[in-house]
Structure 1
Amino acid sequence: MTGRTDPGTVTKAPRVDCHAHVFDASMPARPNAWTVPDYEFNAADLLAQLDENGVELAVLSGLSISGAYNDYMIRALRQHRRMRGTVIVDAPSSLYELERMQEDGIVGIRLQLARCDELPDFESFDYRVLLRRVRDLDWHVQLAIEGSRLPGVLENLLASGVKVVVDHFGHPDPADPLGCPGFAAMLRAVDSGLCWIKMSGGFRLAGTAAWRDDPDGDLEMLAKTVAASLVEKVGTDRLLWGSDAPFVGYEDRLSYQSVLASYYGWLPDPVKRAEVCDTAIKLYFS
């Protein structure tokens, strides 16, 4: 399952969607949730989208809106072995709890730090214990944070020895996406051998509040620019792709077909797309 793809058998659709969500409309939401969907997008809905578009596997991301309430996602993973997931947990979390989650298909924790007024103290005992447990389980930390705050957080995480997957292109500065400190920090992190970058949520790169402040803004330009640079400077063995279905905040503007089309525009070479798929299989499903 982890071998390199024969260029002669390359297909158009990616094998793995590395970033999707499932939820129902009655799930508990955190008091500071940035939005609360009033609809359901369950595992059957997601799998139908995958099947319709020729995508084989999916990785579910912990839902920031519901914090450490991972129950709904874990039940979906137990039922559908085509999927893996990352959870949002409180530090330090017990070894027994994390090991049971691993049996259910969890492969990492998600640090959803975007829009957070205060960042965790990664030098605290609780976080040092959590990160050590993540490392010992051979999991990864899925990191979502604004690019301006990315350098310091990446430095702390990599110092702990954990693997890191940076969400949504690292949210580089829209004013200078390729020259900002966050983008440079990602490139350094990749050189450490412990970091991957996820080409997902390209429609979110205008900023974490753009879905509300500029709902009709350009959804393509920034992602296409950043993706081209990443392919050149990082290479396919450290890149992943995710749809971010069901596109919370942008449901009226996007579809699974449209985000796939965007990805094909970012990475038009089908052989390179196949290599990105191989990277995802190795990281999440090997």
Structure 2
Amino acid sequence: MPDSFKIDAHVHVFTSDMPLIDNPRHAPNYSFTHEELIATLEHNGVDRAVIAAASPWGDYNDYILAALRAHRARLRGTAIFNPPVDRFALEAMNRDGFVGMRLPFIGLPKLPDITTFEYRALFRRLADLGWHVHPHVEGDDLPKILPTLEASGVKIVVDHLGRPNPKSGVNSDGFKALLRSIETGRTWVKVSGGYRLGPQAKEVARELLRVAGPDRLVWASDCPFVGHEGQFPYQATIDWLVEAIPDAAARAKIFGATARELYFNGE
């Protein structure tokens, strides 16, 4: 695999007519189709991508399914579920390229209880299939959910550098909990969304590299930057990682090799 190989581990696709949940955090009035995604990848020299299910559309995973079926060799995806979900449905989705579940908890007034039987049974099914759980929460909430996920045996993938508290950064309780979780051996982190964190983002990325090493980190763009549209070009997310991670060998793994093993089974 060439050093230039890249996998974008966090993108979204959607159409303007997809059904939104009640009171969504964002309500995009435009489409970003899977055809546009593929064109964006090709224009920027990115080989593959992983579609993250987005909270505005709840468990309407239908368009992600269409994207995976249209571009099976290049795309994988995560889904949002309202438990319970039976094994038969998960196996069918697995065949189509789904590899994980996203927990869309950010912005909720109270975190759902994931210690219930419905969630624990679902996490076990995901673990049995080799899927991951992708918690979408603020960094301060990670200590509240990571222990349950760790106990379930499922792989865990945390987005956007762990979303540490901007004031305390690497010293925040959430970030420290994330580092402890990495040490369990089943947690990965997306080196993405630096624009959300501000000046501390590169320091956070380097601390993650120091503790986790490149085999637990994957790069992602967050394209099409919902809520931050038009603020910077896609290429800027590639340039940011180059600046944040000076070690070329580590950077090559973060750009592609680690994600290839995690999402594509090394294929």
1:38 to 29, 41, 44: 29
1:55 equivalent in structure 2: 46
Structure 1 residue 278: deviation in Å?
1.1
Partner SS state of residue 177, structure 2? helix
- 1:225 equivalent in alignment to 2:217: no
Task: After the TM superposition, list the runs of 4 or more consecutive aligned residues in structure 1 that deviate by more than 4 angstroms.
Answer: none
- 1:114 equivalent in alignment to 2:106: yes
Query: 1:92·1:126 contact (CA, 8 Å) conserved in 2?
Result: yes
User: What amino acid is the match of 2:64?
Assistant: M
2:17 to 16, 26, 34: 26
Cα distance in structure 2, aligned partners of 1:113 and 1:17: 23
Cα distance in structure 2, aligned partners of 1:157 and 1:195: 10
| Structure 2 residue ranges without an equivalent (≥5) | none
Partner SS state of residue 50, structure 2? strand
1:170 equivalent in structure 2: 162
Query: 1:247·1:254 contact (CA, 8 Å) conserved in 2?
Result: no
2:3 to 5, 10, 13: 10
Partner SS state of residue 169, structure 2? coil
Cα distance in structure 2, aligned partners of 1:10 and 1:87: 30
2:130 equivalent in structure 1: 138
Structure 1 residue 173: deviation in Å?
0.8
- 1:204 equivalent in alignment to 2:182: no
Cα distance in structure 2, aligned partners of 1:42 and 1:285: 22
Query: 2:79·2:100 contact (CA, 8 Å) conserved in 1?
Result: yes
Query: 1:144·1:168 contact (CA, 8 Å) conserved in 2?
Result: no
Structure 1 residue 222: deviation in Å?
2.2
Cα distance in structure 2, aligned partners of 1:154 and 1:24: 32
2:258 equivalent in structure 1: 279
Structure 1 residue 125: deviation in Å?
1.3
User: What amino acid is the match of 2:161?
Assistant: F
1:195-246 CA distance string (max 9 Å, x none): 00111112222xxxxxxxxxxxxx4x12112111111221101101110000
1:141-167 CA distance string (max 9 Å, x none): 011111111112011110111110011
Query: 1:144·1:170 contact (CA, 8 Å) conserved in 2?
Result: no
Partner SS state of residue 170, structure 2? coil
1:72 equivalent in structure 2: 63
Query: 2:241·2:251 contact (CA, 8 Å) conserved in 1?
Result: no
For normalisation by structure 1, the TM-score amounts to 0.89
1:149 to 141, 147, 150: 141
C-alpha change, 1:268 and 1:49, in structure 2 (3 Å) is farther
Partner SS state of residue 226, structure 1? helix
Identical positions, percent: 45
2:233 equivalent in structure 1: 255
Q: Which moved more, 1:104-113 or 1:250-259?
A: 250-259
Partner SS state of residue 171, structure 2? coil
Structure 1 residue 268: deviation in Å?
2.8
Partner SS state of residue 31, structure 1? coil
1:106-145 CA distance string (max 9 Å, x none): 0010112111112221221111111111111110001111
Query: 1:29·1:67 contact (CA, 8 Å) conserved in 2?
Result: yes
Count of aligned pairs: 263
Partner SS state of residue 66, structure 2? helix
Cα distance in structure 2, aligned partners of 1:113 and 1:267: 30
| Structure 1 residue ranges without an equivalent (≥5) | 206-218
User: What amino acid is the match of 1:75?
Assistant: A
1:215 equivalent in structure 2: none
1:160-201 CA distance string (max 9 Å, x none): 111100111111011110111111101110110110011111
User: What amino acid is the match of 1:284?
Assistant: Y
Cα distance in structure 1, aligned partners of 2:240 and 2:104: 24
Query: 1:17·1:59 contact (CA, 8 Å) conserved in 2?
Result: yes
